[in-house]
Structure 1
Amino acid sequence: MEAKIMRRIITIDKDKCDGCGLCVEACHEGAIRMIDGKAELVSESYCDGLGDCIGECPRGAITFEEREASPYDEEAVKKNMASACSSGCPGTMARSMGGDAADRKEPPLGKPEGAVKRESALRNWPVQLSLIPENAPYLSGSHLVIAADCSAMAHPDFHRSFLGDGKVCLMGCPKLDDAGAYRDKLARIMAAHSPKAVTVIHMEVPCCGGMVRLVESAIEEAKADLDYTRVKIAIEGGELERESTRYRFSS
């Protein structure tokens, strides 16, 4: 029998739960499911105790408690999520943009008459976060643009809107890649190179919120003084939210 340990874990008040399902989408471990119209913790070993679901609950039905519980099991979570995604993850639901296909006029092949050629604003390579050398000189005092992979495909003018002026582009997927390794690497980069600003760009789908959390965690771990901007992109390509703040740790 698996030994239980004292740790922080969520608890759900079913009397308060209205069945909206937002917590299910926010839980990246698949620990919560809707059962008979109510949210329910299906396995203690899936819950990492970080509480992403708490902020999404509009009824205050989810809280933390410190109690004996099964240890968090990362391998079990991976198997659970693989099984769940085979039947459709919230963020991978197929969508058709711009109305019915029959109503859309497809653009002609080739360059449209009178179109202006745009130059790439990309100023560094590679862009994949896992491949970025931590000692790259262009990182020092830079403006880091840390983007979820899908955002550049969804936003129709990504280069002109977010790059340029020597900004350094770093990209990755918080769901499919190693988010913990990304957080640690970003913390080391920020501590070593003192970037002047960080812009994080993420999609509106729940799984993409992990990019925001890992970037903010890296800033706090590095105790980096910088300007911070968070931009949320809609699947249809528009900008949904933009928030800016200043991190200051030094006196």
Structure 2
Amino acid sequence: MKRKIIEIDEDLCNGCGECIVGCAEGALQLVDGKAKMVKEDFCDGFGDCIGTCPTGALQIVEREAAAYDIEATREHVAQMGDEALKKFDEANAEHEAKEQSEQENPKMSGCPGMQVRMKKADEAKAKAKAATGEISGQVIKSDLEQWPIQLHLVPPTAPFFDGKELVVLSTCSPVASPDVHWRYVRGRSLVVACPKLDKTEGYVEKLSQIMAQNDIPKVIVVRMEVPCCGGLSMMTQQAHAQSGRADLVVEEVTIGLDGELRGTKQL
């Protein structure tokens, strides 16, 4: 049958194993230092593993593949212990809900990070007026105090990093939430990156240099709630480890697709 399934680019895979942790179905394992599919019928094609990959080696494709076998997969996961089985059942419930939603609204199907979402017209207009200052009669100015901001372009020893908290900002966050500037950009230095669409080679190394070579008291990852954005947190964690900065606090802030703050946690 033709269906959605995970495909792994071995040239991009660095063998970190994070995708294996992210796969609740136990469909992946490391073989000779590379992530491999254990059995096609263990992969449900929802792609929870994609957001954990720091190199972009995983993607969802549609091709001829064995049908997903939920009963065989559950038996396979049960061999890994109670926690693994609990994780599987929770993921399965979430996937069933997504599948039901996609059947009811086919336009919302596909990768969560690529789904088209629209606000009600009145709500969108009101927020647009507020963002432009039309309601208050004031023009809202940018809180950005530096340039460049793209991670590819910033020099690790740029003076705007020293002595300030660093924000590692996903590309979509400031568009999704009008609060990002005053809440996270104001008074801080920042770098902007997208773990799904950027060429991320060298990102971990550059981030680790920025952390190691500047007096940065705290790093805040501001990401969207879609799975692919998890790669930004993963790269930041790896950079933190490489920097040798045991004193550095690293937090993750998640922005919902409605622009609201979902939560904050320490990495």
For normalisation by structure 2, the TM-score amounts to 0.61
Alignment pair present for 1:205 and 2:226: yes
Aligned letter for 2:249? D
Alignment pair present for 1:226 and 2:252: no
Q: Give SS of 1:194's match.
A: coil
* TM-aligned CA deviation for residue 18 of structure 1: 9.4
- 1:121-154 per-residue CA deviation (whole Å, 9 max, x = no partner) reads 2111111111112221221232101101000100
- Indicate conservation of the 8 Å contact 1:19/1:37, yes or no: yes
Aligned to 2:170: 148
Q: C-alpha distance in 1, partners of 2:179/2:66?
A: 42
Q: C-alpha distance in 2, partners of 1:230/1:196?
A: 15
Aligned to 2:147: 125
Aligned to 2:125: 106
**Which of the two has greater strand per residue?**
1
Aligned to 1:84: none
- 1:51-80 per-residue CA deviation (whole Å, 9 max, x = no partner) reads xxxx9x9229xxxxxxxxxxxxxxxxxxxx
Runs of 4+ in 1 over 4 A off after TM superposition: 10-15, 17-20, 24-28, 31-35, 107-111
Unaligned runs of 5+ in 2: 1-30, 71-83, 90-108
Aligned to 2:17: none
Aligned letter for 1:173? C
Aligned to 2:262: 240
For normalisation by structure 1, the TM-score amounts to 0.65
Alignment pair present for 1:30 and 2:59: yes
Aligned to 1:196: 217
Equivalent of 2:88, from 28, 43, 59? 59
Aligned to 2:192: 171
**Which moved further from structure 2: 201-210 or 136-145?**
136-145
Distance 1:128 1:32, change over 3 A: same
The RMSD of aligned alpha carbons is 3.7
Q: C-alpha distance in 1, partners of 2:139/2:67?
A: 55
Unaligned runs of 5+ in 1: 40-54, 61-86, 246-251
Equivalent of 1:115, from 137, 146, 152? 137
